[in-house]
Amino acid sequence: MKTVAIVDPYSSGQYLAGEFYSRGFSSVCVKSSVNIPAVYAASYHKDNFINELPHTISNFSELINKINEYDCQAVVPGTESGVLLANTLAHHLGLPCCEPDILLCLRDKYLMQERIARAGLRSIPQIKVSSFEELKPWLEHHLSSTIVIKPLSSAGTDSVKFCQTGAEIEQAISNIVGKYDALGNHNEYVLAQQFIKGKEYVVDSVSLNKTHYITNTSMYKKQILPNGAIVYSEELFIHPSEKEVKNVIEYAINVMNALGIHFGAAHFEIMVDEHGPVLIEVGARLHGAKAPKNVQFFSNVSQLDLLVDAAIDPERFHQRTQLPPVYYKHSKAVSLINYDKGMIVDIPGMKWAETLSSYTTAFWNINIGQQLLPTSNLFDSPGGIFLANQDPRALEYDTQRIREMEKSGKLWVLK
């Protein structure tokens, strides 16, 4: 069989090997680090790959040679931690990739905003600091009731805090600087940004040779928990042709061009306020968790299958991207939230969720015997349930049932 390489095939990237296999390609797993980040470990399936190639600081040339031996026809990232290595490998191998000279802008959120600002696009006022003392002068000139503090290169709302007082800001910085983020990066700095209040949208795309195709858009709902954490609560999928997202998509395409996203999947989070759209952040990889898999239940085009086209069948990619996607159903995702502390003794929600009329798929981040803490970010959420139905009322009914079961402690049982 012909071969491709997938760097960090975790999260939604776990489905890529199967998609490639169905098209006559085997896959090699490349690990960007020897140890898989704990948040991704459960989503890695070694048996889906013909070989596993670890990357270290000193073995890049050896890694290139090994990938060459397999005559890989593409190198793609499976998840956020694989973005830089996948594109760097592809560049050295002469394969399609994002702009090699500005790859750091795809992972470092500070550089990301600076880059789009230089391209004349709206960006968020920000500063990168290593301490609260460094931040004080900037705060005096950026008066806002809320300041967002976040790591430079993590994902999934990891350690993101919305702060309204100096004490909250100082504590948020202390919780990040000198610590490791959820992807294993050591935080020497934090990013401080002005809070943008509005509606948050998602744009998912696949690109090939600077041709960009929007597979799906959606709107996030987030919730502030009693512990101050900001977590996703719902994601409502919206057809890209809807007037509501027209300006958002135009802005996202301009951001893609500014950041050099010429090839592969991309996942944009964009806020819209009275001034229009502005980038929160972008991941040059698949939408996470099971979102791209869920899209296959209600649309004729998803990031998963179109990324495979871009990687191994450019002609099919160009044929499929001549028309907008066709949605057969309405869809949403419900992110699960845990409010209590205890050990998990049962997870009846796994089987119960499958009885919902709109159920398509789900992901669970919990196991029996695990100590569970109140949810604080996407990675420590108990999981998420995806729904699709021709009748949007059915989606709302099923969402209500999920929340009732969640609050009554019937999805997972703690003691």
The CA-CA-CA angle for residues 392, 336, 326, to 5°, reads: 35
| Amino acid at site 264 | G
Give the domain 199-414 fold.
D-amino Acid Aminotransferase; Chain A, domain 1 (3.30.470)
Cβ neighbours, 10 Å, residue 300: 14
Phi-psi region of 342 (alpha: psi -120 to 50; beta: other; left: phi over 0): left
Tell me the per-residue pLDDT of 88-123, one tens digit each, with 9 for 90 and over: 999 999 999 999 999 999 999 999 999 999 999 999
Question: Cβ-count burial of 355 within 10 angstroms (0-12 exposed, 13-18 middle, 19+ buried)?
Answer: exposed
Class of domain 125-194: alpha beta
Domain 2-97 has CATH 3.40.50.20: yes
d(CA 26, CA 356): 35
Q: How far is CA 152 from CA 106, 173, 255, 351, in A?
A: 11, 12, 18, 38
| Amino acid at site 334 | V
415 residues of the chain, pLDDT tens digit each:
899 999 999 999 999 999 999 999 999 999 999 889 888 999 999 999 999 999 998 999 999 999 999 999 999 999 999 999 999 999 999 999 999 999 999 999 999 999 999 999 999 999 999 999 999 999 988 767 799 999 998 776 778 888 989 999 999 999 999 999 877 889 999 999 999 999 999 999 999 999 999 999 999 998 887 777 778 899 999 999 999 999 999 999 999 999 999 999 999 999 999 999 999 999 999 999 999 999 999 999 999 999 999 999 999 999 999 999 999 999 999 999 999 999 999 999 999 999 999 999 999 999 999 999 999 877 789 999 999 999 999 999 999 999 999 999 999 999 9
% helix / strand / coil in the chain, to the nearest 5? 35, 30, 40
d(CA 222, CA 229): 10
The strand ranges marked E within 209-329 are 211-224, 230-238, 264-273, 276-283
Using DSSP's 3-state secondary structure scheme, residue 412 falls into: coil
Both tokens assigned to 352: 């119960």
Q: pLDDT over 90 for what percent of the chain?
A: 87
Domain boundaries along the sequence of the chain? 2-97, 125-194, 199-414
Cβ neighbours, 10 Å, residue 318: 15
